[in-house]
């Protein structure tokens, strides 16, 4: 270890933010303006899930919409303008209360950073079907991002799995590229917002199949078809497609919290506002929100967590 690295390990931050999505960057903006010494570790996917969203139409302040990537770049630029240090390291472990109420995070390069408070804003990851053959075909026809991978299936038949806003958005985007889009929904109706439903229903290239469940993925080196069961009529249907885009929800990225931080049965961090069961540890965004899961609510909880950190630090003498 170099002398510079040793000095960094001795450095103590007022707050370390883990995660670089709307919650993390908003927390950073508020901490920076409060002149609280902090650093943000964005992990391997700066910007979170939002960077793969083609167009965000419901974030206030953008009447014509904005791409998720540009929105998150703006979040980052704003936080850096106020002095936030942004690093792309991942945090692999948190050591709680190493000295009284001082915590320590361990990075993916094995370096350690000490801090008085931590904001966990690690977000969530796309959920998969957990079917045989699925893992082998990720990147070979199976994707969770139409904006990222849709181009490779231009003029082809594809399927989108899911019935929420994300599935609707993926279907709309793919309809501009693909020959045919099968929207396969497990429930008997769509859960997407009314405006998104109307958009999808008005696209001729999108064919919707309600009450269908994917039970088998066919293909060796790439997807050739998916086999579905019609839950309502108890019969099966084969969709010959070259790609399957999953939009069936998310799993909170809360692994680093175990076993110390309390989680609910689905893995979301349990908070009171943004306060966890461990003093000095706060959580914001999708990692603690199983209900709303919107960019604006994530940003709002990021603001709340920063205010809670400021209050926490003021109430303690270090």
Residues labelled catalytic: 145, 148-149
Of 1, 82, 7, 72, the residue nearest 37 (C-alpha):
82
- For the record, the structure tokens of 11 come out as 């450095």
Half-sphere exposure of 287 (CA within 13 A, CB side): 29
181: left (phi over 0), alpha (psi -120 to 50) or beta: beta
- For the record, the structure tokens of 26 come out as 């908003």
Q: What is the dihedral of CA 24, 252, 279, 20, to 10 degrees?
A: -10
């Amino acid at each position: 270890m170099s002398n510079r690295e040793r000095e960094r390990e001795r450095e103590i931050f007022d707050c370390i933010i883990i995660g670089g999505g709307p919650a993390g960057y908003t927390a950073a903006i508020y901490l920076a303006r409060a002149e609280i010494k902090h650093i943000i570790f964005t992990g391997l996917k700066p910007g979170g899930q939002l960077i793969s969203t083609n167009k965000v139409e419901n974030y206030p302040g953008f009447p014509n919409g904005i791409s998720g990537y540009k929105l998150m770049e703006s979040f980052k630029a704003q936080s850096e303008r106020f002095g936030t240090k942004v690093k792309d390291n991942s945090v692999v472990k948190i050591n709680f209360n190493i000295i009284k109420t001082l915590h320590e995070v361990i990075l993916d390069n094995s370096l350690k950073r000490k801090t008085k408070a931590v904001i966990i804003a690690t977000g969530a990851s796309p959920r998969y079907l957990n079917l045989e053959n699925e893992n082998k075909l990720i990147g070979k026809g199976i994707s969770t991002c139409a904006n990222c991978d849709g181009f490779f299936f231009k003029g082809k038949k594809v399927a989108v799995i899911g019935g929420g806003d994300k599935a609707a958005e993926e279907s709309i985007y793919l309809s501009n590229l693909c020959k045919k889009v099968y929207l396969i929904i497990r429930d008997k109706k769509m859960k997407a917002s009314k405006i998104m439903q109307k958009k999808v229903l008005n696209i001729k290239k999108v064919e919707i199949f309600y009450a269908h469940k994917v039970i088998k993925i066919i293909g060796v080196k790439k997807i050739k078809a998916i086999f579905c069961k019609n839950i309502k009529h108890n019969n099966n249907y084969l969709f010959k497609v070259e790609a399957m885009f999953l939009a069936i929800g998310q799993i909170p990225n809360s692994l680093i919290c175990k076993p110390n931080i309390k989680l609910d049965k689905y893995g979301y961090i349990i908070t009171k506002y943004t306060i966890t069961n461990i003093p000095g540890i706060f959580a914001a965004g999708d990692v603690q929100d199983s209900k709303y899961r919107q960019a604006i609510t994530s940003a709002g909880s990021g603001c709340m967590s920063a205010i809670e950190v400021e209050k926490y630090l003021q109430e303690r003498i270090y």
